[in-house]
Structure formats: structure tokens, C-alpha cells
Structure 1
Amino acid sequence: MKKECGLGRVLEPKETVPASAWKVDNSRDLRKGEARIAIKLINIEWDSFQQICSSCGYDDEKIKAKILYIIERRGKLHNPFTSTGGVLLGVAEEAYDGQFPGKDVAGGDMVYCTSSMTGIPLYIDEITGIDYNYGQISCAGYAIVFETSRLVKARKDLRNNYTLAALDEAGNLYGAHQMAVDDGARYIAIIGKNTFTTAVFGAALRKAMGPECRIVAIMDKYLRGSLSEAEVNQTLRPLIRETYFLDLTEPIAAYREMKKKETIAGSFDLVIITEDIFGAEALAVMLAKTKGGLYFTSIANHYGSAQLAAENLGKVVNMYAFDQFVENYHKFTLDLIEFTQFKLEEINNLYEKKKKISRLTKSRSKEISINKAGRDDDFIYSSEVTRNLMDEVLNIARFDCNVIIQGETGVGKEKVLSLIHQNSERRNNPCIKINCATIQESLGESDFFGYEEGAFTGARSSGKAGYFQLANNGILFLDEIGTLSLNLQTKLLRVLQENQFYKVGGTVQQDVNVRVICANNIPLKGLVDEGRFREDLYYRLNICTIDVPPLRERRADILVLAEGFVKKWNKKYGVDRVLSPEALNGLYNYYWPGNVRELENVVHRLIIGSTGVVINGNAVDDILNEDAYGDMMMNVKQRVERTSELNFDELMAQQERRIIEYALRKEGTTRGAAKLLGMSHSTFSRKKIKCGL
């Protein structure tokens, strides 16, 4: 008989499993094959916990609010930025048929749920505490588990915090243990992400290979948590023979330093990679012997980059990643905790003596991808400017009013629209997007309002629904609304005033309930002042105005957006490219007249045009400045060839603008551009403002 795995709980998108769904039903009532757990403690996957904490500035109340927000939006604790969840501890409360999943589990038992929370519907009433050392929250609420979920009775003789943290690594601990046994590994290195994780992997390997096996650990020197190097070293012994603190973002320098201290560096039988800093995977390849083993605790630990690093170094290594279910590996982990409980108690006692701290940035790439970035419905950002914009957008989304979104071409106005739609009461109804610049004056009325059968020559025999009818009960997005003729603006105003219209050729009044959101790349108020846009329509639309700033005014976003686009195109093309610090600097300093759309285009071209793993600064410079001057002069030539009469003043003004824009593109700053053109900074600044740049 087929076991229930929660497919009926999936809300968005349909026909997928709970773990990959965007949203699940977390209602309390049970269905066939389900059980409910009263939650006491949640262990959030480490990278997810770090991202949440960093995006909230390690502020307790903001962290709690962020976690509750994720659960409210998704029905589960599934961080969309890291795409990870965690595991939980709670009391077996009720089962639909009286039968809980898991061996010997009954109502009232304290249990561990070791299935990932990415697929577990969850509701939290309140969060009562945050443990920054383990990445855990104490809370009250419930989880819905299924017949396929893994429940294990809690051990009264083991402390809940470190037991739950170890169970979150259960499969990896078992896999590393087995790999060491199978390979007969005698020399093992662990690239650890924190003290606790390094300790439990050390215990798993020590249990596998005994006291004679040499196990060393490497940790990033900028990430020790609240412990000093001496404390970490002392705490990890005797599980770990020696711990080295290196800059993992510079793998070659790190390897050379390691080689001076550890004579067997380059000859390790097995290297365990638990950290996902870029550079850790290359260091692992260098540490391992030829045909040695690399064990990745997650595919996210840059497995693909390690393959490329091995190829570049001409080194053959065996690579493994454990990320699957194995029967009873939780028993192995519980036995392991018992085996090393004395050491885990020591770590726990040391943690409790230390105050909460804001952990230091691991590396530049880590800062970009985890610590600094925020993300709301795929809107990636880092700057305070955009963070404030997101707060404004999410607030406006709750109010069912018309909105004007303003900003330069390519700033992300449609992303703002998506945020409003997904966070509004109309989220489950259509969002119809129309580019007004493509609407022909003669067909505009029928496009907006539709027509009846035989309304005009060439009309469809079945008639046609217009944009308003298609968007009924949802959102109608009118992009470049400033291009509509005054005649169409008048007809649009009437519908907004009365919420009614007639189809072309129709006699039956159509009622409509539509939220109109419009966008324009120049302020509509300016068009009103020029007489090109109806003032009464402007005030009907302008209940709320959202101004999306250009990318050059939120430069901190450039880095996280660039990394996001790299990830996107890497996935599409099956490659593993990274941007060097010089490349990131080049992107950061550029003027970006085309904004986010231009940035995505540049990153796309960099991914396709690069042959190596690392994209350097020269590659960025080549693309940003290619033919800039030639393109500018070609524009003048084409204009002269197409025009029989020229307005000298207009032509000079346009070319002045292009020259100012070219200088900004090439130099990236107003001071540099002024120097390039041989003028004072103040003169250049005045001309820049005059040109609207």
C-alpha cells in the first residue's frame, strides 16, 4: 500500500512534492496518514540560520519576525535563499489513525523528527529563545508529519540541543564513517564550518578508524564563533589531533601554510568538506593524495568547482556527496553522541559561558551570497536603500489600491509588481501585464475592453475579451502608460471611476473589479505638466507612488545581484564560474545606465565568454567598455544620414549627453569621468545634472 507523503498538502505549485513546493497547507486538522507534533525545539540548517541572522543584524526580535514571516508565507520553515530547512524536537500529540510514524513512537512521547523541514508543514505561535551557537530556536507550535516522515524517540540521557544538531548531520556522519572504513583511511582532514560540527565528524571518523588514525581540522580563521583558537584546539582534542586556522578564500596560500605545519598535506587519504566558502573545495583537492577521497556533506559545498580544480591541477581524486536517506542512520548518530558525550558536554558548557556575538564575515563571496543579502520573492538586495524600498512595497501590497511604479528602464519595476501581487489579497487571481507602447491607437479600445461578434470588419466571430475582463478580480499592469494617447487615457479614466465598461459593439454593461498598477520610466507628473497626460487620470492612479532608484544609487546591490545572476546562468549551462574580487570591483564601480537588466546581460555574457572557472577583472572591463566610443559616433552618423534637416542645438545637446554618459561608463565615477574629459569636477557635475544622468 502506498504511504502518504503529504502530496495533498501542496498548494503552490500543484503536482509537486512538499519539499520542493513554494507553499504548503499547514492547517492543524489531520488527514489520513498524518500526525501532529507539538514543537519544542528547532535546529535550523546552519547556512539558513546564518543568512537569517545576518539579514536581521543579529537582532533577536527581527530574527523571530523573519522566521515567522517565512512560515506564514510558505507554510513551512524553508528558507528560499538557501533552499534548506532543518530538524525538530517535540511531543507526539495526535495521529489520524492513532499510529505515529517511527518505531515504538506513541502519543505523549518526546520525539526527534529527522525529516527535513523543507517538506514538513509547520505553524509557530511564538519563539521564546534563540541559540546562536547551535542555530536553534525554542518555540511553541505544531508540525504535520506523514507516514514517510522519520520520527525517533528522544533519549532522556542526552542533551536536546547537541543531539538535535547532530541529527541534522546524521546522514553525513554515517556516510563519512562508512567511507573511512571502506577506504581504510589513515590520514584524514576535516574542513569544518564550526566547532560543534567539526567535533561530531571527528568523533564519527575516530570511531571508524580508532586512536591511531591522524585526524586534523582546518577552519576559516575569520570564523571561530565565540571561541578563541586556543579554546577550539583544546576543545577538539583528542578527537582532532590538530586544528589549523587559515584563510579559506585563498586556497593556494592556505595550502602552502598548511604544508609548512603538516608534512602529510597533499597526501591525505580522505578530506571531509563541511564548509561552503569558495576556496575550501580547491584546498581540499590540494590536500588529498592522488586517487584520495573528497567527501562533500552537501552538493552546495561547491562540488562542481572541486571537479574543475582537480582538472586544472591535473590531479585524480574520488569525489562523493552524501545527500540521501539510509535506514537507521539515526541510530548510528545517537550511538555516536553517547560515544562522545563527554566532549559534547565540554563544548556545550563552553558555549554557555560565551555571550552571543555577531559572527564575522567568512569571505567576500560568503558576504555576498549569505551574510549581506536579503531576498523577498526572488528580489535580491543588500543596500539599505533597497531594504527600505522592500518595506515600502510590502506595506503597500496589503492595501488594495492603485499604484504608480516609477524608475529608469531596467531598474526592476516588474519585480516590484511581482512582490505586490504575491503579497496582496489578489495573489491567487490573474496579473495581466500590458506594454502600452505596443498598443495601436485604432485598436486600443478593443484591446482594453474587448469586442462583440461582428463589431467591425475583421472581428472574430466569437468576439474577444479585453484586458480588463481578463484581469477581473486580479491586477492589470500597464507598463509605459505615458505612451497612451489622450483619447485612450479618457476611456481608461471612465473605467477606473465607474468600474464598468461596454465592449466595442456591445450593449450590455460589464462590471469589473481590477487593481491597476502602472509603470513609466519618466515621472508621470512631468507628463501632466507638459499636457501629455491627463491630470485627473494621474490622481486616480496616484494613490501610492513607488520610486525605484537606479542601480548606481544602490551600489551594494550590484554585488549580490551579480552573484545571483552567476548562480542562475551556472545552473542553466551546467558550469561553475565565479567572479574574482577584481571582477566584482569592476562591476561595482561601473555607472550602469541600463540598470539591473544591463547587469544581468553583462553577467550572462561573462559566463558564456569565459573558459576558466574564475572570471577576472579584464573580462569585465572588456565587456563594459567595448566599442563605447565607436557606438556613440555611429549614432551621430546614422542620425545625419536619416535626417534631411538638422537642429544644431538639439544635436549638440544630445551628443553632449552621450559624451557625458560615455565618460561615466568608462570611468565609473563622476570624478574620474571629469578627469577623462579634462574638466573640473563641479563643471562635470553640473553637466551631468543638466543631461539628466
Structure 2
Amino acid sequence: MTSPVGLHRVVEPVGVLPQAAWRLDASPRVGPDEVLIDVERLNLDAASFRQLSEKHGGDGAAVRAEVLEIVTSRGKMHNPVTGSGGMLVGTVRAVGPESPLGLKVGDRVATLVSLTLTPLSVDDGLAGWDGLGEQVPCSGHAVLFARSIAAVLPDDLDPRLALSVLDVCGAPALTDRVVRGYAAPTVAVLGGAGKSGSLALVAARRAGAARTVGVVPVAGERERLVAAGLADEVVLADARDPVGLSAAVAGALGGPADVTVVCVDVPGCEHGAILSTVDGGTVIFFSMATSFAAAALGAEGLAADVSMLVGNGYVPGHAEFALGLVRAEAGVRGLFEARLAAD
């Protein structure tokens, strides 16, 4: 008997949900409400890829070997250090008769649920990947549950571009929702030149932000974000330096931001985000590098009356919303395409 949330795929420890499990059963048999995907590409999340790359000093072969070991031993791509994974693109091979996902055999899809809870098997040893970029061409299979989410890839966008956008599509949708709850707020996006950050900036502007600032750590990213024209101001600051970050945001906006969106892929940015946000404002943590204990205790220690949201990656309609932003905004599309070219 299958479970709509995948409990039947949990090997150890029994009784937890697939995301919390150490190991999943990735066998290709299809349950009545499951979907089997032939995998062609993984997209590792930024925090996970950065951690692996830094651990191995940029040695792509070593990164590739560790990713393969994780998938082989765990039956899913679930980085044990960052707790994060990514998503994938593939073609539907089989659909159980009771699947509610609306997919059919032959559909080319991107999964909109994390690889940390997706049963996954790789059969080519990742031979086509050099370990130097987040996108991982590969051969294998994956399984979706009744409560999984997937989007059929659009015909008008390069599949690699669509995958990159869909990997972070929850960020702009949640930013849109939060910004619309204020009357012309100021918005700061930490990591504004990245995938989720650039989309969040566009979403904030379209949702009615009075002024936006993109925060980046290095001059090259500042130049790219300025050229893209996605923010009213672009400032250079280390998001791990609370005092320096808050001063940079206040200097650009004339005071703390009403809404701060954290889209960085390094740890230690919680206190700076809180200090950069006005009392009564909102911080959206959209980074798998976030320590939520640090965020909660930091807000308490700073006597900061801010609402803090965990970006959970799912907002109804988030996939088409993000793809629409990329179609409509040449600046954000250019940033994504440049990143893909560099990979």
C-alpha cells in the first residue's frame, strides 16, 4: 500500500517523512499513485553546491564523487551538512492509475519538490558532469508521490534556463505576497544578483515596492546587477557583518527596510537581516544556509519586533509566476543566462 506523502519509500528510520529519512527506497516500481521519471539533469541548490565545492577546494572530480556517494547511499540527493538538495528535470516514463498530478507518459517535467525527499537513482556514475557547476547532467530515475509537485517544461525556454528558474520559483511568489501586504514598502534583498535574489527584486518592484535595494558581496556582482536594472540601488556589503550591512541598507533606503529578503547561500546572515529591518517589518529567509535558531534568538537579543518567515518553496502558482517574470524582464533573464554560460 502506498502513502500519498511517501512513507512507504522510507527505509530508515521507519516512521518519519521522506525528507527527514536517512535513506529512501528508490526502486523503479510504480505504485498506484506514483509517477516514475527518467532523469536527465539535476539542479543542486546553491548552498549545497557551495558547501561541497568549498569542502573539496573546487576539485570537481571530488565533488562529483561525493554527490554520487550521497545519492547511492541515501536513495536521494540530500546533503547531510546543509540538509538541502535541489530539484531535477526528466521525462515521465510511467504514471500510476491513481496519480493526481495530471502528468502523462512523455511529459518533460521539472520537479518542484526538493531532492531531499525524492527517491532517486543514478545509473551513469555522473560521467557527464565535471563537478564545477550546479546543474548535473545525468541518467537515472526518480519517483514522485501523490503529494509531490511537478511542472511541465515550457516550449519557449531553454530547459536549462527553465530548470534554474523553477529551482527558486518560491522566492518571487512569496516576496510578491508579502510586499502586497504593505503600502509602498521599502525592500532589501540580500544576494540580489543571484537566482532567487534577482527574481525577488523584480517581484518586489512589480508588487508595489516604493524603493528596492540589492545587496551583493563583491564588485563584479554589483556591476552585473546595476547593468540588469533590477533594483533602485545596489550596495556592496557583507551580509555576515550585521552592523556594516544595516548601515549599507539604511544608507540606500533612508532607514531600515520594511521587508528584507535573504537569498544568500552562506551561513551567518541572520542577525544582519534582522538589524536591517524596521520594527513591524518582515524578514523572509529564503536560504538553506539559514540557522533558524540564530534568527529567533538574534531577534530576541536585539529586541527586534519583526515577523520572520521561512520561505518553504511552495506558493500556489509559483512556477508560472517565476517563468513569467523571466519572460517579461530582460534584465533578470540576462543574469540567469550569464550564470548558465559560466557553468
TM-score greater than 0.5 by the shorter chain = yes
Check whether the contact 1:86–1:118 (CA below 8 A) recurs between aligned residues.
Answer: yes
How far the C-alpha of 1:275 sits from its partner, in A, is 2.3
Q: Distance in 2 between matches of 1:205 and 1:162?
A: 21
Residues 236-247 of structure 1 correspond to what in structure 2 (within 5 A)?
Answer: 237=229, 239-247=230-238
Q: Distance in 2 between matches of 1:307 and 1:17?
A: 25
Please tell me the residue identity of whatever aligns with 2:93.
Answer: E
Structure 1 pair 96–55 and aligned structure 2 pair: CA distance change class (3 A): same
How far the C-alpha of 1:65 sits from its partner, in A, is 1.5
The sequence identity of aligned pairs, in percent, is 26
- Match of residue 347, structure 1, among 322, 335, 339: 335
Structure 1 pair 137–101 and aligned structure 2 pair: CA distance change class (3 A): farther
| Corresponding residue number in structure 2 for 1:335 | 324
Indicate the structure whose relative CO is greater, using CA pairs within 8 Å and at least 6 residues apart.
Answer: 2
Check whether the contact 1:89–1:112 (CA below 8 A) recurs between aligned residues.
Answer: yes
| Corresponding residue number in structure 1 for 2:279 | 290
Q: Distance in 2 between matches of 1:278 and 1:50?
A: 11
| Corresponding residue number in structure 2 for 1:7 | 7
| Corresponding residue number in structure 2 for 1:181 | 180
Q: Distance in 1 between matches of 2:149 and 2:110?
A: 8
Check whether the contact 2:179–2:204 (CA below 8 A) recurs between aligned residues.
Answer: yes
Q: Distance in 2 between matches of 1:279 and 1:17?
A: 28
Check whether the contact 1:185–1:270 (CA below 8 A) recurs between aligned residues.
Answer: no
Where 2:164 maps in the other structure, the secondary structure is helix
Please tell me the residue identity of whatever aligns with 1:109.
Answer: D
The farther-off stretch of 269-278 and 69-78 is 269-278
- Match of residue 254, structure 2, among 257, 264, 286: 264
Q: Mark the runs of 5 or more structure 1 residues left unpaired by the alignment.
A: 357-693
Check whether the contact 1:22–1:74 (CA below 8 A) recurs between aligned residues.
Answer: yes
Please tell me the residue identity of whatever aligns with 1:350.
Answer: A
Check whether the contact 2:171–2:196 (CA below 8 A) recurs between aligned residues.
Answer: no
| Corresponding residue number in structure 1 for 2:223 | 230
The answer on 1:305 being equivalent to 2:298 is no
Where 1:265 maps in the other structure, the secondary structure is coil
Q: Distance in 2 between matches of 1:349 and 1:332?
A: 18
Where 1:182 maps in the other structure, the secondary structure is coil
Where 2:123 maps in the other structure, the secondary structure is strand
Q: Distance in 2 between matches of 1:191 and 1:106?
A: 39
Q: Distance in 1 between matches of 2:5 and 2:300?
A: 41
Please tell me the residue identity of whatever aligns with 2:114.
Answer: S
Q: Distance in 1 between matches of 2:85 and 2:340?
A: 25
Where 2:147 maps in the other structure, the secondary structure is coil
Where 1:332 maps in the other structure, the secondary structure is helix
| Corresponding residue number in structure 2 for 1:78 | 78
Q: Distance in 2 between matches of 1:51 and 1:216?
A: 27
Q: Distance in 2 between matches of 1:326 and 1:248?
A: 26
Q: Distance in 1 between matches of 2:268 and 2:61?
A: 34
Where 2:113 maps in the other structure, the secondary structure is coil
Check whether the contact 2:170–2:311 (CA below 8 A) recurs between aligned residues.
Answer: yes
Where 1:129 maps in the other structure, the secondary structure is coil
Please tell me the residue identity of whatever aligns with 2:123.
Answer: D
How far the C-alpha of 1:131 sits from its partner, in A, is 7.8
Please tell me the residue identity of whatever aligns with 1:295.
Answer: I
1:95-142, Cα deviation, whole Å (9 max, x unpaired): 233x65523x21111111111111111111222135856x21111111
Residues 108-187 of structure 1 correspond to what in structure 2 (within 5 A)?
Answer: 108-126=106-124, 127=126, 128-129=128-129, 132=132, 135-187=134-186
Q: Distance in 1 between matches of 2:333 and 2:289?
A: 30
Higher-Rg structure is: 1
| Corresponding residue number in structure 2 for 1:469 | none
How far the C-alpha of 1:148 sits from its partner, in A, is 1.6
How far the C-alpha of 1:36 sits from its partner, in A, is 1.0
Q: Distance in 2 between matches of 1:68 and 1:299?
A: 21
Residues 66-105 of structure 1 correspond to what in structure 2 (within 5 A)?
Answer: 66-97=66-97, 101-103=100-102, 105=103
How far the C-alpha of 1:171 sits from its partner, in A, is 2.6
Structure 1 pair 187–3 and aligned structure 2 pair: CA distance change class (3 A): same
Structure 1 pair 335–168 and aligned structure 2 pair: CA distance change class (3 A): same
How far the C-alpha of 1:298 sits from its partner, in A, is 4.9
TM score, norm. by length of structure 2: 0.89
Residues 204-219 of structure 1 correspond to what in structure 2 (within 5 A)?
Answer: 204-209=203-208, 213-219=210-216
Q: Distance in 2 between matches of 1:330 and 1:350?
A: 21
Check whether the contact 2:215–2:236 (CA below 8 A) recurs between aligned residues.
Answer: yes
Q: Distance in 1 between matches of 2:313 and 2:59?
A: 35
How far the C-alpha of 1:299 sits from its partner, in A, is 7.6
The answer on 1:220 being equivalent to 2:220 is no
1:37-57, Cα deviation, whole Å (9 max, x unpaired): 111121112111112222233
Q: Distance in 2 between matches of 1:279 and 1:15?
A: 33
Structure 1 pair 25–348 and aligned structure 2 pair: CA distance change class (3 A): same
| Corresponding residue number in structure 2 for 1:54 | 54
Check whether the contact 2:268–2:290 (CA below 8 A) recurs between aligned residues.
Answer: no
Q: Mark the runs of 5 or more structure 2 residues left unpaired by the alignment.
A: none
Q: Distance in 1 between matches of 2:63 and 2:25?
A: 23
How far the C-alpha of 1:320 sits from its partner, in A, is 2.1
Structure 1 pair 2–336 and aligned structure 2 pair: CA distance change class (3 A): farther
Q: Distance in 2 between matches of 1:16 and 1:310?
A: 31
The answer on 1:252 being equivalent to 2:251 is no
Q: Distance in 2 between matches of 1:86 and 1:277?
A: 16
Q: Distance in 2 between matches of 1:327 and 1:182?
A: 17
Check whether the contact 2:47–2:287 (CA below 8 A) recurs between aligned residues.
Answer: no
The farther-off stretch of 326-335 and 180-189 is 326-335
Q: Give the number of the structure whose residues are more often strand, by fraction.
A: 2
Residues 670-689 of structure 1 correspond to what in structure 2 (within 5 A)?
Answer: none
Where 1:198 maps in the other structure, the secondary structure is helix
Structure 1 pair 141–286 and aligned structure 2 pair: CA distance change class (3 A): same
Question: What's the C-alpha RMSD, in Å, of the aligned pairs?
Answer: 2.7
Structure 1 pair 263–109 and aligned structure 2 pair: CA distance change class (3 A): closer
Q: Distance in 2 between matches of 1:302 and 1:251?
A: 15
| Corresponding residue number in structure 2 for 1:20 | 20
1:485-529, Cα deviation, whole Å (9 max, x unpaired): xxxxxxxxxxxxxxxxxxxxxxxxxxxxxxxxxxxxxxxxxxxxx
Where 2:180 maps in the other structure, the secondary structure is helix
Structure 1 pair 195–338 and aligned structure 2 pair: CA distance change class (3 A): same
Please tell me the residue identity of whatever aligns with 1:219.
Answer: V
How far the C-alpha of 1:34 sits from its partner, in A, is 1.9
1:356-380, Cα deviation, whole Å (9 max, x unpaired): 6xxxxxxxxxxxxxxxxxxxxxxxx
Check whether the contact 2:42–2:89 (CA below 8 A) recurs between aligned residues.
Answer: yes
Where 2:93 maps in the other structure, the secondary structure is strand
1:132-168, Cα deviation, whole Å (9 max, x unpaired): 56x2111111111122211211101122223222222
